[in-house]
Amino acid sequence: MSAFGYRYVVDTNALSQIGKRRRSTRYFREHSEIPSEVLHEAQGFPDIDVLRSRLYPTTGRVLSWLSKILVTVPVDDTTLLNLYANHGSADPLVVACALDGATHDSQYLDAPEWLVVTNDEAVRAKAEEFGVRAITSVEFADVIDASAA
């Protein structure tokens, strides 16, 4: 950890698992980033307006990372992304946002560590393949709870 701590890019499944109470904490609001496609998937959440304030926008840099990620996915592999089944459209974007944030912040001395928060094994594996640490929603919930103590 650096002096600037951590930035968490949160997947939809983790958002639902940590619950509204943890999503309303100061720690979550100050350290979390939510990709636009995750926000789209979470549009029915009761606190969607709060979540929108944590938007990590899909920029050209993010799309560049997304293309680098997608070329590593075999054509017949549907674990990370399966558009025909409407599954996982946000998943590679979560990793792309973490890579973009980490790359951007690497210019700073003592930059924060960027992590992916997901319960999806394919997302975790892809993040780690690209050198981004991934944690589960349970681990993230523990971090949030410890920050309040």
The reply to whether 14 falls in a domain is yes
The reply to whether 64 falls in a domain is yes
Structural domain boundaries enclosing 35 = 6-148
94 forms beta bridges with: none
The reply to whether 29 falls in a domain is yes
The reply to whether 54 falls in a domain is yes
Cα–Cα distance measured from residue 81 to residue 20, given in angstroms and rounded to the nearest whole number: 27
pLDDT single digits (tens) 88-112 = 578 899 999 999 999 999 888 889 9
The reply to whether 70 falls in a domain is yes
What CATH number does residue 48 fall under?
A: 3.40.50.1010
The reply to whether 67 falls in a domain is yes
**Number of structural domains, the chain?**
1
The reply to whether 1 falls in a domain is no
Give which of 114, 96, 98 is closest to 4, Cα–Cα: 114
pLDDT single digits (tens) 64-87 = 999 999 999 888 877 777 666 566
pTM above 0.85, yes or no: yes
